[in-house]
Amino acid sequence: MDDRTVDLIFSGSLKSLPPVSSKIVRIFTSSTFTDTTMERNTLMAKCYPRIKDYCREKHGLEFQ
């Protein structure tokens, strides 16, 4: 992928996305386990289910 495409993606443009090579979407959250318990629980209870539905319904992707 060329630098211009990467810059466009990082600036929020989704028009020049490369072809999808996987059907799985994963999010990696890096943090100190004990310091972010509430945040992690909120993500798991409220955000991740919505992201999972969106990925499946709009793009046919599996969110893990």
Residue 34: both structure tokens together: 């004990």
Alpha helices for 2-64 (secondary structure H): 3-10, 37-42, 48-59
- Residue tagged 């992690």 (tokens): 40
Residue 24: its H or E element? strand 24-25
- C-alpha distances (whole Å) from 45 to each of 15, 49, 63 are 31, 7, 14
Q: What is the pLDDT of residues 5-56, one digit of tens each?
A: 889 889 999 887 778 789 999 998 887 778 888 898 999 999 999 999 999 9
- Domain boundaries defined on the chain: 19-63
Neighbours of 16 (CB within 10 A): 12
pTM of the complete model: 0.64
